[in-house]
Amino acid sequence: MMWMLIVVLGMCGGHATGWTYHASTYTMNWTMAREWCWINNHTDMVVIQNQEENNYLLNILPDRTGSPYYWIGIKKINGNWTWVGTNGTWVGNSSWAPNEPNNKLGEECVEMYVNKGNSENNGKWNDDMCSNLKYSLCYRGEGLNHCFSCCCFLRPLVNHLMKAVLRL
């Protein structure tokens, strides 16, 4: 059964107000991770607004030492690091690991590292190849319309395809 991390939190002056976070129990590439969010009726991949929210996620996510990486909702679009599912504005963050992003070998997606045994990089971000496998980290904004553009139309098809891929 799918493990979901459901914690009510919304960053509004540092108080919990209506966000829930959800993590997959298996790894997938960045595109499939984003589709996993939609298929499971979440708003999108997590969009971390500030260091406080980053630290909160770090504290509630399980310590998966074998594969401690989660895809988050940042992707390089037209040469710029962009939050997906928002107005596209890069808000910046101090959560990048040292010397990151480095765009090594065309890395265009962003992971969050969660390993409580490694305090140096725990909670830090790294750019990585979008094809690599990580856990999906999603959010749901309460009271928001979860159906964006063509997403509702394509959701049944994508759901069918995801199930077929997972059977392979």
Structure tokens at 140: 């749901």
pLDDT of residue 11: 30
pLDDT of residue 164: 58
Residue type, 99: N
> Residue-wise over 77-113: b if at least 16 C-beta within 10 A, else e?
eeeebbbbbeeeeeeebebbbeebbeeeeebbbbbbb
- Give residue-wise pLDDT tens across range 20-63: 899 999 999 999 999 999 998 888 999 888 888 888 998 888 87
Domains of the chain: 19-167 (3.10.100.10)
Cα–Cα distance for residue pair 15/135, rounded to 1 Å = 26
- Give residue-wise pLDDT tens across range 93-133: 678 898 898 989 899 999 999 987 777 888 899 999 999 99
0.85 exceeded by the pTM? no
Cα–Cα distance for residue pair 25/10, rounded to 1 Å = 23
Q: At what angle do helices 30-39 and 151-167 cross, to 10 degrees?
A: 120
Cα–Cα distance for residue pair 66/163, rounded to 1 Å = 24
Residue 76, SS3 per DSSP: strand
